[in-house]
Structure 1
């Protein structure tokens, strides 16, 4: 009887355990990239499977890729789990792409001492940024500098971004006028000012404070209005897995550039000194990872070509010395190509000049070292095969006039000689004809 009562009690408690209130927490600290987008969407999916009450995204970002940002926003808009974006800790920011994520979220919160804004789309490709038109009533005068008008493509990008952020503001009932200023005039706000202008819902000191203020609020989901019940909710933190960490590491343009260099160096070393294998394997793996990383980034074709030309010139200097002309040209082309490699001034996706210059110098020195090693290896006498046997000594095992048997390198060889040899006579190997040695008798006084 007691067992039956315990079993019934366990069955009654099962629904309560299955539907316990849970808050899932994820964090992005850095540029918005395909890696961070994959991590966030996985966290969103796990929150959905756990039937979480809320997903909190801790955000600290300078911006990032538009495609990754839009993928995250699409996930938020279609999510059956409410999403709260929390710009924290103090000193963090939600600039550029981060502003769009904040506007798209069901709840937007900021910690004291944080900021958001500067959501102007950056210009892609070679050329200046988006030109700023003169202020209202301002007339251009002679001798006064004026920024060039934006091109048609730049205007389209500006209008598209402004309309996108405005639509998100209207969807969430937030300040649409300031949203457009953030895009067109690159305006930014502190947390307190954002609260006053109704850009965010509230300012929270920490996560418990955010949950306390969000408790009982109604948010709009695709399925309809939903009231948050966050009292005594269990907090579950989701960390990036190894795949997302690896993707985030290689998606850094500076890391991708290092992998590209390692791949090229490894393959060059393997081609000029065949037989080792290790350099070729490392080079192939590094090159494939670099190509995978670069495929996720907006690459400038001219920058990529300059980079390859620079590597080719430095390699040519190593194997065909030109008194430094090719080497200097290669270093200059390498630096220029590296700085132009990423197509556009995307926040968090820049290649540092302080990183590129030492890498270019190290590349030149490494290529010179590889070339010197390869040339030394080519000039080294052969140590195996038929070439290594030439000039060595063989000893006749019998008397013979034209053909007979001789001992060389501890083995019996069939030999051919134009001069008769006696048993024990020494001869010099001058050629190897298949499995037959061609020999000549050693001259008197000749050292073996």
Structure 2
């Protein structure tokens, strides 16, 4: 390993973090800061307890375990580099990357910089893919292969590396099997058989016990001897705010927050409320846009989602689903299915997004808006006996115009009503007007 003198926290990283925080909405920032103040004492107490539990003799080396969750974005890339620099400054015995990542969303050049930091680290850097069910794929798998030693937990997967980004930092053994791992993943046994790992490591502790320099003793007090770790272990996760931003920028969260934010903004626009829905919607929309900016989202798919929400908004104003609702639904489905390049959203997330937005915009929101403004401001009881005009042929249900405003209506008579016919409102049932033809209908009692 080679050492390169570098500032652990260069100004460019501080500017990157500043720009990242500026992209968040003020509402989200206030919420994060309030939670930070509430959780900070608990985290401090947990860190203190962990230090008391893991501290042993001063002469034993300390090892750092760095949790790498989700896609490797700029936040995670900075976190890895900063953690390695901090371990070097503290004289750590080694850094263990606990990886559960399906790939990277930073540029290949930025990922190469992270691999360079791993290769140039003074302290050894190891990687453990776990726990069970975890995986290291894409650029994350290549970072794992660039460490001094790797292992895969039982039930975890490794591979699907894609085209190699930095072969100069990968071992000869990995390069020999790179073709087999380019488009597929392998389990823990195959990793050992291919020579990428030297041993089975079902848990993180099993992996760390055999690392060079990791101190342990044998406890013979039980029925069988057990190795007990003596080296201190420091566990590190993303800081609170960075962790929130990283989690909210995941593919599923960015997609759902974008749709929810747009729907709440439309709801606020038509209901003219006190602004709570608008503020929450604006925050969700901004965070969703930030996620799309970080993730490999297709611009034309985002445009389809915008058209979908615009189409729904038109028919929300009309009060009934028409051609724009069909256009919006088609755009919503197409934009959702092809939103990301190189990654897919789970079917559960797609169903929640598509069905939830479609039902709320076609049925739920018009009903809420009609209920809010219809009963208290129009005084609907005085509509009984008024004349209306059918805007379409009505056999059982349809739309009528009352003073230029469209209303849903039902007719209980067998006589069909044609578009343009005058009808009389005889009752109101919920959001529906009960109507009858002008000719042959009952007379209004006020006219008698």
Q: TM-score, structure 1 length as denominator?
A: 0.60
Asked if structure 2 preserves the Cα contact closer than 8 Å seen for 1:300 and 1:341, the reply is yes
The reply to whether residue 354 of structure 1 matches residue 355 of structure 2 is no
Closer/same/farther in 2, CA of residues 94 and 260 from structure 1, 3 Å limit = closer
The reply to whether residue 21 of structure 1 matches residue 61 of structure 2 is yes
| Cα displacement string for residues 312-361 of structure 1 (whole angstroms, at most 9, x for unaligned residues) | 1111111135652221221221121122222x132678984323332232
Deviation (angstroms), 1:236: 1.0
Asked if structure 2 preserves the Cα contact closer than 8 Å seen for 1:110 and 1:191, the reply is yes
Deviation (angstroms), 1:21: 1.6
| Runs (5+) with no aligned partner, structure 2 | 1-55, 215-227, 380-448
The reply to whether residue 315 of structure 1 matches residue 305 of structure 2 is no
Q: 1:244 aligns to what SS in structure 2?
A: helix
| Cα displacement string for residues 194-250 of structure 1 (whole angstroms, at most 9, x for unaligned residues) | 223222343324334323322159xxxxxxxxxxxx983211111332113211321
The reply to whether residue 92 of structure 1 matches residue 134 of structure 2 is yes
Give the aligned length.
308
Alignment of structure 1 residues 12-411 onto 2, 5 Å: 21-65=61-105, 67=107, 69-70=111-112, 72-120=114-162, 161-162=163-164, 164=165, 166-169=167-170, 172-183=171-182, 186-215=183-212, 232-274=230-272, 276-320=274-318, 324-342=322-340, 344-346=341-343, 352-364=349-361, 365-369=363-367, 371-372=369-370, 376=374, 380=378
- For 1:114 and 1:263, how far apart are their aligned partners in 2? 36
- For 1:262 and 1:91, how far apart are their aligned partners in 2? 30
Closer/same/farther in 2, CA of residues 273 and 55 from structure 1, 3 Å limit = same
Larger radius of gyration: 1
| Cα displacement string for residues 46-88 of structure 1 (whole angstroms, at most 9, x for unaligned residues) | 3233221111112233334353754543432343332100122
RMSD, matched Cα: 3.4
Q: 1:94 aligns to what SS in structure 2?
A: strand
Asked if structure 2 preserves the Cα contact closer than 8 Å seen for 1:215 and 1:231, the reply is no
Asked if structure 1 preserves the Cα contact closer than 8 Å seen for 2:97 and 2:127, the reply is yes
Q: 1:203 aligns to what SS in structure 2?
A: coil
Asked if structure 2 preserves the Cα contact closer than 8 Å seen for 1:25 and 1:56, the reply is yes
| Cα displacement string for residues 179-201 of structure 1 (whole angstroms, at most 9, x for unaligned residues) | 13422xx2433323322322234
Asked if structure 2 preserves the Cα contact closer than 8 Å seen for 1:64 and 1:346, the reply is no
Q: 2:210 aligns to what SS in structure 1?
A: helix
| Cα displacement string for residues 84-136 of structure 1 (whole angstroms, at most 9, x for unaligned residues) | 0012234433233332022111222223444321222xxxxxxxxxxxxxxxx
Q: TM-score, structure 2 length as denominator?
A: 0.60
Closer/same/farther in 2, CA of residues 240 and 369 from structure 1, 3 Å limit = farther
Q: Which residue of 1 aligns with 2:23?
A: none
Q: Which residue of 2 aligns with 1:436?
A: none
User: Which moved further from structure 2: 265-274 or 278-287?
Assistant: 265-274
User: Which moved further from structure 2: 46-55 or 258-267?
Assistant: 258-267
Asked if structure 2 preserves the Cα contact closer than 8 Å seen for 1:35 and 1:251, the reply is no
- For 2:356 and 2:238, how far apart are their aligned partners in 1? 30
Closer/same/farther in 2, CA of residues 103 and 295 from structure 1, 3 Å limit = same
- For 2:139 and 2:354, how far apart are their aligned partners in 1? 30
